[in-house]
Every structure is written in C-alpha cells, then in structure tokens.
Amino acid sequence: MWGRWAPWATAVWGVSYACVQVGWLSTGARLPLGPHYVFPVWVQVVLAVAAIVAALGALRGHLPSLLVTTVVFGIGTFGSPMEFVALASGSGDSVGGIALATMAFDVVGLAPLLATLV
C-alpha cells in the first residue's frame, strides 16, 4: 500500500519544501537558530536542494539519496518536542516564525520519506 502513494507524497512534499525555502530567501526571511543567531543563507539553499533530491530520489527509487535526505530532515525534527512544550506551556521560549514552520515541515515530510524507504 505504501509503495504507491509514498513516493508521490514525498515528491509533493519535497517540491513544496523547496518552494517555501526559496520563497523565504527571496523575501529576505532568514532561518533563526535561536534568539541571537540566524543560519547563513547557504543553509536554506542546501535544504531546498536536499528537498528536491528527496523528491527525485523517491520518484526514481534511488535508495542512497533517500537515506541521506531522511537523515538531513530527521535532524531537523530534533527540536520539535522542546518547541511543543514551550508552545503548550505558554512560556514564550519558542523560536516561532519560520523556524517553527520549517521544523513542522520537516516533521510532516519525514513520514512519507520513511514510508518510501520501507
């Protein structure tokens, strides 16, 4: 069952993710890592390229590219539990904005990536 929809879901997610990153770059929005530090622009470019590689790898069934991109976007989900707790508790310690949206996009994209690998 996963064999049919997972590659296409991964491809849609990958193209969407890349478009969002490029859109943020074109408006000058930077991806914050914390309150006083933002990632360099090249990080968002690498993430956009990795998302396209994931999309193409899923459609072509290229296992090495899927493994690498699953690790890359899996790392992007590491802060998710802390952000959820910060938001749920109302502590105000959440990074918010595009950092939170990128993390949510990583979490959503990891499901079809993992399903494609299975």
Q: What is the structure's pLDDT at 19?
A: 94
Task: Give the predicted TM-score (pTM) of the model.
Answer: 0.84
- What tokens does 76 get? 């992007």
Structure tokens given for 59: 């459609």
Mean pLDDT, the chain, whole residue set:
84
Matching residue, tokens 């879901």: 9
The pLDDT tens digits for 20-70 are 999 989 998 888 776 678 888 998 999 999 999 999 999 998 888 888 988
Q: What is the pLDDT of residue 2?
A: 61
- Burial pattern 76-88, b for ≥16 Cβ within 10 A else e, equals bbebeeebeebee
> pLDDT at residue 78 above 80?
no
